[in-house]
Structure 1
């Protein structure tokens, strides 16, 4: 079963500054929420996809990883010791057990199941309980990127029309772009992860069209061709990495590229929709 893009985790040192930067670009940003393991987030909700701006709020609450057990908090804490930026790529899930079976059948490295609940702070000042089931897995060729699927158990409490209305017209995710020296080398993992068997390999790299948005992998030269010199020159950290996010904005007159150097390590592309 093919899985669409669910969200992107963007690790930042200063959550309020990051939220203000996204708001200045015309996005509606949710109030702050807290995880029980010491991280905090603010979200940008689109049509079935969201950006999770994430910071470490209480390091003492973070659990360390163990054999076969993934620690979301520790992974992002350690990511932030190196740089800010998109730390994790997340796909939607309808059935965590089915996801796990698919991943194991594809010979992917899977961690122990993980579920949690938290309180969501809503725009009107009220709260609601939300809960998620996560299936973490690892691409040995991309150790700096976290991957997991996410089943939202109470979508009616999570998705809110007020959070999905943006001044810049942002509506939906178009693509997430990864950067790697050898894009084709990530085909097996990404095909198993997304459930998309048909991939496109071009002179620019690798593309997988999911039910919600595309996953693309470019080499450095192709990335410069696609996103321009300013975006390429602003890249930080080791590769492979999640380098860019493209969002479809109906009504936008021309494409806007915000380089990683101006937006906490992630290049953001706002694209018109014909």
Structure 2
């Protein structure tokens, strides 16, 4: 069964400053959450998908990678040593243990499942128990991009329509976009990660079309042609470059961003908030509906 998108990590140095940028862009941003392994986050929740704005706030608590143990905190710390931006994509999972076995059998990571829990807050301020299981996957050709699947054990306590109301009318995720010099080099990994056997291939690159959001890998020149942006300096393998989000009314978002003094560009039916504004990420807003 194909795995849809669950959330993406936006790693930043200053968590509250990045959250303020998202708020200026019209997103509702949750409060600060503290992880025992040294990272803190704030969440932007869409329908069945969220953006995890994350910083390494307590580096002394980060544990190193070990055999069969992928360290989420160490990966984010090392990513932030070089840049800010989209660092890791997590897909939906109904059985993280089974997914971990699949990744190991395919040669894309042999890690124990990472289980953790924390308290969350409902809109009325009451406490709700949250628990997750992560199974990590590694594309050996792409050390700068992290991947995992996420199983929610109390999804009814996490997803809440009240948190999904945004001034910019954001509704859902369309796609996570990566750039790579040779997108086809990542075809087998992308298929294994997503469970999508028949990937879409074109002159732009390759894409996995899932029932809930896509993953697109394109050449840097194609990214520039599509979104009017030069991606970050070339690195090794595939690297996250942008996030495409569907909104209700693009013209209304344009007025909102103008009123809030944001530096952005319009590319046809897309509004693009560039990485120099959006803490290393390209945020791409598009009309809700067929594209």
TM-score range normalised by the length of the shorter chain: over 0.9
2:287 is matched with 272
Matches within 5 A, 1:1-274: 1-228=1-228, 231-232=229-230, 235-236=232-233, 238-239=235-236, 240-253=238-251, 254-274=269-289
| 1:210, distance to aligned residue in structure 2 (A) | 1.1
Query: Helix, strand or coil: the match of 1:261?
Result: coil
Query: Helix, strand or coil: the match of 2:276?
Result: helix
Structure 2 Cα separation of the partners of residues 224 and 50 of structure 1: 25
Per mean C-alpha deviation after superposition, the further-off stretch among 109-118 and 50-59 is: 109-118
Say what the alpha-carbon RMSD is for the aligned residues.
1.4
- Given that 1:2 and 1:194 are in contact with CA atoms closer than 8 Å, whether structure 2 keeps it comes out as yes
Structure 1 Cα separation of the partners of residues 64 and 15 of structure 2: 22
| 1:211, distance to aligned residue in structure 2 (A) | 1.7
Query: Helix, strand or coil: the match of 2:250?
Result: coil
- Given that 1:235 and 1:261 are in contact with CA atoms closer than 8 Å, whether structure 2 keeps it comes out as no
Structure 1 Cα separation of the partners of residues 24 and 234 of structure 2: 26
- Given that 1:38 and 1:57 are in contact with CA atoms closer than 8 Å, whether structure 2 keeps it comes out as yes
- Given that 2:108 and 2:140 are in contact with CA atoms closer than 8 Å, whether structure 1 keeps it comes out as no
Give unmatched runs, 5+ long, in structure 2. 252-268
2:259 is matched with none
Query: Helix, strand or coil: the match of 1:119?
Result: strand
Structure 2 Cα separation of the partners of residues 143 and 33 of structure 1: 27
Distance 1:244 1:39, change over 3 A: same
Query: Helix, strand or coil: the match of 2:163?
Result: helix
| 1:28-49: CA deviation from partner (whole Å, max 9, x where unpaired) | 0011111111110000100100
Query: Helix, strand or coil: the match of 1:149?
Result: strand
- Given that 1:207 and 1:216 are in contact with CA atoms closer than 8 Å, whether structure 2 keeps it comes out as yes
- TM-score, normalisation: structure 1: 0.95
| 1:251, distance to aligned residue in structure 2 (A) | 2.3
Query: Helix, strand or coil: the match of 1:70?
Result: coil
- Given that 1:32 and 1:121 are in contact with CA atoms closer than 8 Å, whether structure 2 keeps it comes out as no
Query: Helix, strand or coil: the match of 1:173?
Result: strand
| 1:237, distance to aligned residue in structure 2 (A) | 6.1
- TM-score, normalisation: structure 2: 0.90
| 1:69, distance to aligned residue in structure 2 (A) | 1.2
- Given that 1:82 and 1:237 are in contact with CA atoms closer than 8 Å, whether structure 2 keeps it comes out as no
- Given that 1:236 and 1:265 are in contact with CA atoms closer than 8 Å, whether structure 2 keeps it comes out as no
Per mean C-alpha deviation after superposition, the further-off stretch among 195-204 and 237-246 is: 237-246
Query: Helix, strand or coil: the match of 2:19?
Result: helix
Distance 1:237 1:29, change over 3 A: farther
Distance 1:66 1:110, change over 3 A: same
| 1:161-181: CA deviation from partner (whole Å, max 9, x where unpaired) | 221000111000001100101
